[in-house]
Amino acid sequence: MQKFIAFTLTIYLVCSVDPSMVQLSTEKIDELSQSNLGRFIIEMAQTHAEMRGPLDDLVTAIGDLENELTAELQQLEDDFTRSTNQHQITQENLDINIGQTEINIFNEKDFIDAILLPSIDQTNQKIDRLNGFINDNRDSLARETLNRQNQHQAYLDRVSEHQGAISAVDEALQLINSLINGNIAFTEKATIHQAVKRVNNKIAKTSTIHPVVEALLQLTQNFSDQGQAQKIRDLLQDTRNQLVASLNQENADEKQIEETWAERQKTLNTEYQEFKRSLLEATYVLATYQNKLKSTQEALAQNELDLQNYNESLQQDKDAQAQETQIYNELKAQYQIQLQTTRNAKDFVNSAEFSTVIRNKLNQGGLA
């Protein structure tokens, strides 16, 4: 209460002093008497003046007020410095987070656009190619298998034809040998005719040797001596040898073709397995890229959200600092005004003019 009274008095006194004369007027003292607080201060001054001593209490109160204001101003300065330092640390950390997050966002976008998306596109193209290779491989296997089946059937048909021809030639040789050996007389035309007919029936009309055998058999029905029979037998034997050689060649060719076909099947199946392995590998790689894309996009979205939060936090902290700075400046200005007023009042109270005015007023009948 004492400090408040002293502060109030000093403000009023300073406002009432003529700066050029540094003295209180009677009117100002009269004005002080109009309020309870003013009368209380005047009474304190009058009591002290009557005691004819220095205004120690008033001076002490003003000094205490000055010290208190100085301490409060220093506390304000300290609090503001701590707050400013804390804001600086907070903003520096946010700036670091913002910078690192922007780098992360750039790297993630670059990773997606430059690596993941092209890799996914290339892997999809590879999978399409491999599926095409697999389809072509199975089509080739099916087509070549059918061709091989037809080829093998043609071989079997030729073998059958050769075997029929050899059998016919053998029977024709048997007929000729029967004629030569006398088992059948050359005059037994009916028997010879029946034998020729059986031989003809055994040889397919499409056989290449059919005309030869048929012609030889026709001659057989017309000759009448051993010499002609032996010549025909030699021709038939030569024909048989050619048929056997041709059949052996057919078998050899078929064996080679079958080996080649087995190797071809092995090659196609090996290619198929390799395509399947590559397809599984590409599918796994594609899934890996897609999972990486998903996780990178999620990280990108989180970083973008973090960046937004960091920027908002930075702006909020700057706004808070600006508001605190404004409040600090306003309070500091008020404290400086109060301190200056208090110091002016202290100087005035300690002056000879202040004591003279009070004592003169008392000699004239008192302050109240």
Spatial CB neighbours of 48, under 8 Å, sequence gap ≥ 6:
54, 55, 57, 58
Cα–Cα dist 44/55, whole Å = 9
Spatial CB neighbours of 126, under 8 Å, sequence gap ≥ 6:
278, 282
- CA distances for 183 relative to 176, 179, 217, angstroms: 10, 6, 17
pLDDT at position 14? 41
CA angle 110, 112, 113 (to 5 degrees): 65
Cα–Cα dist 277/55, whole Å = 108
Cα–Cα dist 182/25, whole Å = 187
Q: What confidence category does residue 22 fall into, taking pLDDT thresholds of 50, 70 and 90?
A: very low
Is 50 exceeded by the pLDDT of residue 40?
no
pLDDT at position 65? 80
pLDDT at position 197? 63
Average pLDDT of the residues in 291-312: 98
pLDDT at position 83? 96
Cα–Cα dist 27/16, whole Å = 9
Q: Long-range contacts of range 50-53, CB-CB < 8 Å, 24 or more positions apart?
A: 50/362
Percent of the chain past pLDDT 90, that is, above it, reads 49
Name the pTM for this structure. 0.64
The token duo for 315 is: 């702006």
In terms of average pLDDT, the best of 183-197, 234-248, 315-329 is: 315-329
Average pLDDT of the residues in 327-343: 87
Cα–Cα dist 80/242, whole Å = 121
The lowest-confidence range among 180-189, 304-313, 337-346 is 180-189
Spatial CB neighbours of 178, under 8 Å, sequence gap ≥ 6:
184
Q: What confidence category does residue 174 fall into, taking pLDDT thresholds of 50, 70 and 90?
A: confident
Cα–Cα dist 325/12, whole Å = 31
The lowest-confidence range among 9-23, 93-107, 335-349 is 9-23
pLDDT at position 248? 96
The lowest-confidence range among 38-52, 156-170, 301-315 is 38-52
pLDDT at position 226? 64
Q: What confidence category does residue 167 fall into, taking pLDDT thresholds of 50, 70 and 90?
A: confident
Average pLDDT of the residues in 49-70: 72
Is 90 exceeded by the pLDDT of residue 270?
yes
Q: Classify 54 as helix, strand or coil.
A: coil
Residues 195, 204 contacting (CB under 8 angstroms) = no
Percent of the chain past pLDDT 70, that is, above it, reads 66
pLDDT at position 234? 84
The lowest-confidence range among 109-118, 165-174, 176-185, 272-281 is 176-185
The number of helix segments (H) and strand segments (E) in the chain equals 9, 0
The token duo for 88 is: 């600086």
Average pLDDT, the chain: 79
Q: Where are the alpha helices (DSSP H) in the chain?
A: 2-16, 26-32, 36-50, 56-111, 117-181, 189-202, 210-222, 226-349, 352-363
pLDDT at position 77? 96
